[in-house]
Chain A
Amino acid sequence: MNKTKISNHQLFALVANFTLGTTVISISSNVVSLAHQDAWISALISIAIGIPFIWMYYYIGKLYPGKSLIDILNAAFGKWAGWILSAIFVVFVCYLDTAQVIFYVGNFIRNEYMTETPLYALNLLLAIGIVIGMLYGLEAIARAAEGFIVIVSVLIIFSLLLNMKNIEPLNLLPIFEKGIVPILKGAFSLSSYMTWPLVILLMIVPTSTDNTIKTRNSLFAGYLWGATINFLCTIMSLMVLGSTITARSEYPAYMMAKEISVGIIDRIEGIISFSWLVTEFIRILLYFYAGTLGLAQLFRIKDYKKLIMPLGLVMLMYSGVVYPNAAYQAKWDTTTWVPFIATFGVILPILILIIKKFKDVSRQLK
């Protein structure tokens, strides 16, 4: 049914972009507010936490080759329960996140650049871009991601290097001041944005890649690449800004880039916001693609592209609704979101694996 194929290098770029989006500029401040100056340890730990999950997502895809998450849920939980779970997945994971990330981007531009512009005007431009990207299809998105990840990595690393003269390594001390618990809290908070949402790749990986060891390797490589850049950004903003300012600013990586002043290179924070926007764009596209594909499969619609334009309108309208204000956003991001995405990113894949193994064993017994 779905003939689109993406190469392993394109998968690497998609995963890396997805991992970088959201986390690198705004979530690191949540992590720092939980773990204080030890947030860089949290970032390291959450890289480690992520590896078994990435492996698990890949393994599920290998157990059900050529099937998307919707089919997998149907096969594992039966027709009705599977359908309901899929519907929840499509609406609350994919579409809610699409709207939320659109809000993130619009809100960032409104906070930092155009304070008097209405949110919808900014979101509209982004939504148009997303709809156009979706109409071109997954191959085009993946090819764009391939180019983007190079630009983004170079720009972020460039801005980190320019910040080397502002660093204050003593800001990282003392290590383990409040024990391991805050560090773990920070690590799970980071994982809930960096690792577990990658479960949406189950809509893409089993059907659109060749599902070999190389696929697994590019999943790992993409994840590690994104997570490492995120780790570098976290540790640099801690060293440049200190833990209090990092925790209390909305966009610490952006604030850190404002500090750059090397010779004539000055006021170049724009490159950080540019690279962040690009990664967020890919992240939104992946959420939106997974959601639209899922919706089409739920109602057995053959041509999902027909639904993109009206769905774009709905997403645009919801982007101004999902976060009524900054306080709601802060509460949602640090409380409800974490157990919610854990349900889909942790519990559900484990259940699928257990059921599959159980069925295999019982079949053998018969």
Chain B
Amino acid sequence: MSLLSFILASVFSVVLCIVEIPKMRKNREKKELVAFLIILFYGLALVGMKCLKIDIPNPADVLVAVYSPVVDLIKVALE
């Protein structure tokens, strides 16, 4: 199942590249092309990590860590 979904995601990416890249090249949108490729590979990497059962770091954990002093402060203040 996981292999299949990775293959599907790859196929999706390849098709997307085939369709989108020539258009961007024709319009000389260099920045778009770079950003597009970076995000696409990032997404593919996430799919790959998920399929290999590697834990993807949760961005929400950053906020939990940053805001935990504030949360504690509010808790103390309310009680």
Shortest CB-to-CB span from B14 to chain A, Å, is 13
Interface footprint category on A: 20 to 34
Chain A residues with Cβ below 8 Å from B64 are 332, 336
Q: Cβ of A314 and Cβ of B39 under 8 Å apart?
A: yes
Q: Cβ of A181 and Cβ of B39 under 8 Å apart?
A: no
Q: Tell me the chain B residues, 16-75 only, with Cβ under 8 Å from chain A.
A: 16, 20, 24, 29, 31-32, 35-36, 39-40, 42-44, 46-47, 50, 56, 58-60, 62-64, 67-68, 70-71, 74
Q: Say yes or no for A299: interface residue by CB 8 A criterion.
A: yes
Task: Give the one of A302, A306, A338 with max B CB within 10 A.
Answer: A306
- Known: A318-B56, A322-B59, A336-B67. Contact between A313 and B32, CB under 8 A? no
Q: Cβ of A96 and Cβ of B60 under 8 Å apart?
A: yes
Chain B residues with Cβ below 8 Å from A332 are 60, 64
Q: Cβ of A320 and Cβ of B32 under 8 Å apart?
A: no
- Known: A313-B43, A314-B42, A317-B56. Contact between A307 and B16, CB under 8 A? no
Shortest CB-to-CB span from B23 to chain A, Å, is 8
CA distance A335 to B9 in the complex (A): 35
CA distance A299 to B9 in the complex (A): 26
Q: Cβ of B50 and Cβ of A317 under 8 Å apart?
A: yes
Per DSSP, chain B at the interface is: helix
Chain A residues with Cβ below 8 Å from B35 are 295, 299, 301, 306-307
Q: Cβ of A301 and Cβ of B46 under 8 Å apart?
A: no
* Interface mask (B1-20 → A, CB under 8 Å = 1, otherwise 0): 00001000100110010001
Q: Cβ of B31 and Cβ of A336 under 8 Å apart?
A: no
Q: Cβ of A302 and Cβ of B50 under 8 Å apart?
A: no
Q: Say yes or no for B78: interface residue by CB 8 A criterion.
A: yes
Q: Say yes or no for A110: interface residue by CB 8 A criterion.
A: no
CA distance A299 to B24 in the complex (A): 16
Interface footprint category on B: 20 to 34
Chain A residues with Cβ below 8 Å from B29 are 302-303, 306
Q: Cβ of B24 and Cβ of A91 under 8 Å apart?
A: no
Chain A residues with Cβ below 8 Å from B42 are 310, 314
Q: Say yes or no for A78: interface residue by CB 8 A criterion.
A: no
CA distance A71 to B35 in the complex (A): 20
Shortest CB-to-CB span from B71 to chain A, Å, is 5
- Known: A92-B63, A306-B24, A310-B16. Contact between A320 and B50, CB under 8 A? yes
- Known: A314-B43, A318-B46. Contact between A301 and B32, CB under 8 A? yes
Chain B residues with Cβ below 8 Å from A300 are 31
* Interface mask (A268-304 → B, CB under 8 Å = 1, otherwise 0): 0000000000000000000000000001000111110
Q: Say yes or no for A339: interface residue by CB 8 A criterion.
A: yes
Contact of B36 among A302, A310, A317 (CB under 8 A): A310
Chain B residues with Cβ below 8 Å from A309 are 16, 20, 40
Contact of A321 among B5, B36, B58, B67 (CB under 8 A): B58
Q: Cβ of B56 and Cβ of A307 under 8 Å apart?
A: no
- Known: A310-B40, A317-B47. Contact between A336 and B60, CB under 8 A? yes
New A-B pairs, 10, CB < 8 Å, besides A306-B32, A310-B40, A322-B59: A301-B31, A302-B29, A303-B32, A307-B32, A314-B46, A321-B58, A332-B60, A332-B64, A336-B63, A336-B68
Q: 5 tightest A-B contacts by CB?
A: A313-B43, A317-B46, A310-B39, A310-B40, A314-B43
Provide a sorted-by-A list of 10 A–B residue pairs whose CB atoms are within 8 angstroms. Answer: A92-B62, A185-B78, A303-B29, A309-B20, A310-B39, A310-B42, A313-B43, A313-B44, A336-B63, A336-B68
